[in-house]
């Protein structure tokens, strides 16, 4: 028996059918068919991927591993340059030293190599935040994290003017030893807090904040300040070679791995062009615009004219955030028919709202109203069927009790009272 197996692969289902073939290899009967439905691999509660938990745990493991490797590299570099003692017992004895006091003391006084190593090893454990994202390079005041960073930076002045701390280490030492502050405010860690605030209108919002948050640039400035002071006292031990190696160990951050674009479908030997390439962006714009159709009455599809297409493409290229709804204004207004745009995804979207009956040419003519702007809906018109309350006229400022078939706000040129006046 000759047969053919047909498969339909979907994201959450697998359909199959076994078809019998005749002598000419043409389908003649269905032997059996079925479908296997399975889960889409997402959390049914919030729709998130099941890999989120594993990814978060993997990120924590990687972060911990990289911290341990950086600490081991810093310890080896400090031993090689003679800052840390080579004996393990002597190094462990340095744990009793207060690193915050050493970080503040090193700005004005000479430190022993072991004391400097203890302070630098402590800085290396919490070296501040640095983002790899290009979007974070712009100055943005949004977010609790950036607000905390800006607030901490405002309390630091490299020259120490107005009694401010010169480095973040000196600031943390002052917070830790300031007995005038309550114990809850003597923290030197980035504690995340949420506080519910009730607004004047009775609604509540959650205020998210950090006690403090250290930026990587603050750590770099503190390292430069400490090294400059110690190098002026002991230039032999604090030489440029040791400075470059220790600073690289402290501040180095692995760059993000670039994403490979993959191979072209038509030319497998060539790589795909990046999506951010201007020519690719223009190709996608023309592709989407050429797929648009205007659905007329009678379900007749009409392609965009060359002038309409060029106007829409020019608008999309001039504005990076133009939505599909805003782009509808680039089509010629057709008042006598309900035009609908059909997108390539199959979803229909109203291209231009139909003019209300009270603003069409024949209706205005029957009422004896002027036709200076026929068949055009005013920008203040709102045809929401849920709103049945009378509205104010923009011309005579009188309250009228019109129905929902008419606009909520009559323009001055269409108001009966304004026209009669």
Tens of pLDDT along 299-322? 888 888 888 888 888 888 887 777
Quote the pLDDT of residue 184.
Answer: 79
Tens of pLDDT along 124-152? 998 998 887 665 554 444 588 888 899 99
Q: Is the pLDDT of residue 211 over 50?
A: yes
Share of the chain above pLDDT 70, in %: 74
The stretch 265-293 carries a mean pLDDT of 88
The residue ranges of DSSP E strands in 3-126, in sequence order, are 3-9, 13-21, 27-37
Instruction: Grade residue 40 by pLDDT with cuts at 50, 70 and 90.
Output: confident
Q: Is the pLDDT of residue 122 over 70?
A: yes
Instruction: Grade residue 403 by pLDDT with cuts at 50, 70 and 90.
Output: very low
Quote the pLDDT of residue 325.
Answer: 64
- Please report where in the chains the tokens 């709202």 appear, as a residue: 353
Instruction: Grade residue 326 by pLDDT with cuts at 50, 70 and 90.
Output: low
Q: Are 110 and 194 in contact (CB under 8 A)?
A: no
Q: Are 208 and 148 in contact (CB under 8 A)?
A: no
From residue 122, give the alpha-carbon distance in Å to each of 117, 118, 119, 259: 8, 6, 5, 35
Q: Is the pLDDT of residue 254 over 80?
A: yes
Measured CA angle at 318 (ends 314, 319), to 5 deg: 120
Quote the pLDDT of residue 134.
Answer: 61
From residue 150, give the alpha-carbon distance in Å to each of 140, 193, 289: 10, 17, 44
Q: Is the pLDDT of residue 383 over 70?
A: no
> Alpha-carbon distance 149 to 139, whole Å?
12
In the predicted model, what is the mean pLDDT of the chain?
78
Instruction: Grade residue 264 by pLDDT with cuts at 50, 70 and 90.
Output: confident
Q: Which residues of 273-310 are buried (b: 16+ CB within 10 A; e: fewer)?
A: eeeeeeeeeeeeeeeebeebbbbeeeeeeeebeeebbe
């Amino acid at each position: 028996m000759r047969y053919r197996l047909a498969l339909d692969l979907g994201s959450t289902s697998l359909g199959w059918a076994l078809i019998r073939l005749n002598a000419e290899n043409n389908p003649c009967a269905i032997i059996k068919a079925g479908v296997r439905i399975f889960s889409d691999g997402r959390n049914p509660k919030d729709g998130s991927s099941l890999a989120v938990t594993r990814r978060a745990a993997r990120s924590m493991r990687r972060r911990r591993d990289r911290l341990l490797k950086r600490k081991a590299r810093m310890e080896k570099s400090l031993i090689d340059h003679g800052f840390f003692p080579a004996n393990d017992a002597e190094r462990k004895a340095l744990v009793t030293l207060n690193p915050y006091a050493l970080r503040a003391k090193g700005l004005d006084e000479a430190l022993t190599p072991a004391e400097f190593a203890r302070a630098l090893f402590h800085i290396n454990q919490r070296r501040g935040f640095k983002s790899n994202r290009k979007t974070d390079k712009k100055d943005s005041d949004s977010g609790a994290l950036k607000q905390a960073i800006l607030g901490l930076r405002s309390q630091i002045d490299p020259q120490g003017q107005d009694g401010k701390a010169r480095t973040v280490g000196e600031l943390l030492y002052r917070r830790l030893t300031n007995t005038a502050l309550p114990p809850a405010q003597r923290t030197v860690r980035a504690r995340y807090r949420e506080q519910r605030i009730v607004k004047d209108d009775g609604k509540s919002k959650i205020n998210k904040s950090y006690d403090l948050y250290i930026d990587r640039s603050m750590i770099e400035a503190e390292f430069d300040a400490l090294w400059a002071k110690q190098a002026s006292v002991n230039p032999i031990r604090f030489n440029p070679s040791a400075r470059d190696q220790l600073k690289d160990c402290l501040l180095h951050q692995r760059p993000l791995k670039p994403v490979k674009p993959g191979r072209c479908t038509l030319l497998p030997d060539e790589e795909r062009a990046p999506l951010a390439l201007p020519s690719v962006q223009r190709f996608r714009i023309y592709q989407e615009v050429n797929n648009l159709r205007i659905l007329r009455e009678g379900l007749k599809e009409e392609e965009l004219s060359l002038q309409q297409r060029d106007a829409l493409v020019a608008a999309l290229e001039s504005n990076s955030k133009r939505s599909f709804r805003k782009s509808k204004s680039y089509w010629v207004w057709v008042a006598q028919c309900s035009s609908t745009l059909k997108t390539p995804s199959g979803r229909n979207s109203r291209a231009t709202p139909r003019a209300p009956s009270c603003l069409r040419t024949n209706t205005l003519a029957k009422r004896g109203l002027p036709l200076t702007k026929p068949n055009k809906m005013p920008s203040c018109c709102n045809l929401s069927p849920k709103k049945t309350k009378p509205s104010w006229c923009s011309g005579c400022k009188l309250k009228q009790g019109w129905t929902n078939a008419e606009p909520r706000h009559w323009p001055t040129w269409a108001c009966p009272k304004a026209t009669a006046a």
